[in-house]
Chain A
């Protein structure tokens, strides 16, 4: 009996002493720290696995709290990333969710090619010799962005264009840095209209290089003022956009994501066909509308003319009347 008692007593004593010591010294040795580090650390899986390349979760949390430039926690995955973004973003007051967008729709069939690239096949190397497309702003399609994406949101499809899946994208921005041409942009996830072109070349040059290039004609900006033309390139700055805007573009550069996803607009022939038909329809309607307006104007004009004639006759008549009276 006494053996059990001593065991309990000794253990309790040691534990108590350790506890008291710790709590005392935690006050003595208290060091002011960024409170977000603790919050981030709590949000992490806490396995101290070091898979992120850092020594434990706290180290990682510290890195997150001090700089934005940290790869995601591979164990926690997107959920943790969202939590961390919340913690970090809450300070920057309601950061809008951003997703990456590759601003090019120039698949191999739609662009003029310069030559065959032999050797290292990645974008960085291809960009040094100007790429294999005539357009210097066209997606090279070797997938430098794809390989850095931590959530596999980017894929290169048959058209040799990188396409971001906006539902998977966590907005880390690594692909923006990886793209040697700088044609990937972070756009608000709520934006429903995109200009899928990055070419700053003059219109004639663009036309030579690509069937779906922005030539800076400014027609879209007339339809919707949130399209702004900078350096021969239309940029959409609004959120929703006029649903007719894609139809007025002569080169089909604008995609309305309420109707087509970016992927289908770039890759699917069917979607393109559908779009072309819709555009035809719109054009016909517009033509009819214009014809109607023109006809109305004409009618109004004629009416006015007729009434003028009547007036003239009236004046004539009254004049005659007067002369007779005289």
Chain B
């Protein structure tokens, strides 16, 4: 039950993009088309789960025993960056098909603050291993939800007659704001 609540919480209420405002870069950058948004979402799901797991393990096996909790941000950045690079190389070699689908989004994720945010958040909130997994997976699903919704809206926006001054980024940001407001309506869904 606790994990179910955590899952709902991380998809809707504490949505990474729309209420924590993490990962805005791909949210605006890769939301031109639904197809690219889908690829990006899949890549985020993949990396977020992996990165959270590795950083969680690293934190509790290396940093905590040595009393180096204050180093977690810098270590996590280092680890996530090299991990993403490594994964990209591995996928490219092992599964070209998967690389076609995800690979191109991986370098973008290196600099994605949502990944680091989730990794730090799990430590901050003191989740156990399962909690961390649930949080990472459903956080990524929430990310995907927001990204896909937004991409769909932007595709529709392209066929609309938008006043010249609002064309492009301006109207996209307004839409993003409204979407964020809409997601605020979910708060209170889970008590506490």
Contacts and interface: CB of A to CB of B under 8 A. Distances in A.
Does a CB–CB distance below 8 Å link A and B in the complex? yes
B87 to A, nearest CB: 10
Interface string A42-72: 0000001111011110110010000000000
A58 B68 CA distance: 37
A6 B69 CA distance: 12
Contacts of B26: 50
B107 A58 contact: yes
A56 B108 CA distance: 7
Contacts of B107: 48, 56, 58
Interface residues of B, number: 32
Interface residues on A, range: 20 to 34
Contact of A10 (B40, B68, B93): B68
A181 to B, nearest CB: 27
B41 to A, nearest CB: 11
Contact of B93 (A22, A29, A58): A29
Contacts of A118: none
B104 A59 contact: yes
A1 interface: no
Interface string B114-136: 00000000000000000000000
Nearest to B105: A55
Interface string B69-101: 001001100110010011001101110000000
A170 B49 CA distance: 45
Given A55-B104, A56-B107, A26 B89 contact: yes
Interface string A13-32: 01100110110011011110
Contacts of A92: none
A58 B110 CA distance: 14
Contacts of B57: none
B104 A14 contact: no
Given A21-B82, A55-B40, A56-B104, A50 B30 contact: yes
Interface string B21-36: 0000010011011001
Interface string A299-311: 0000000000000
B108 to A, nearest CB: 5
A11 interface: yes
Interface of B: 26, 29-30, 32-33, 36, 39-40, 58, 62-63, 66-68, 71, 74-75, 78-79, 82, 85-86, 89-90, 92-94, 104-105, 107-108, 111
Given A11-B78, A29-B92, 16 more contacts: A6-B66, A10-B63, A10-B66, A11-B71, A11-B75, A14-B79, A18-B79, A22-B82, A22-B86, A25-B86, A29-B89, A50-B30, A50-B32, A54-B36, A56-B104, A58-B104
10 contacts: A7-B68, A10-B75, A29-B89, A29-B92, A50-B32, A51-B29, A53-B32, A53-B36, A55-B30, A55-B39
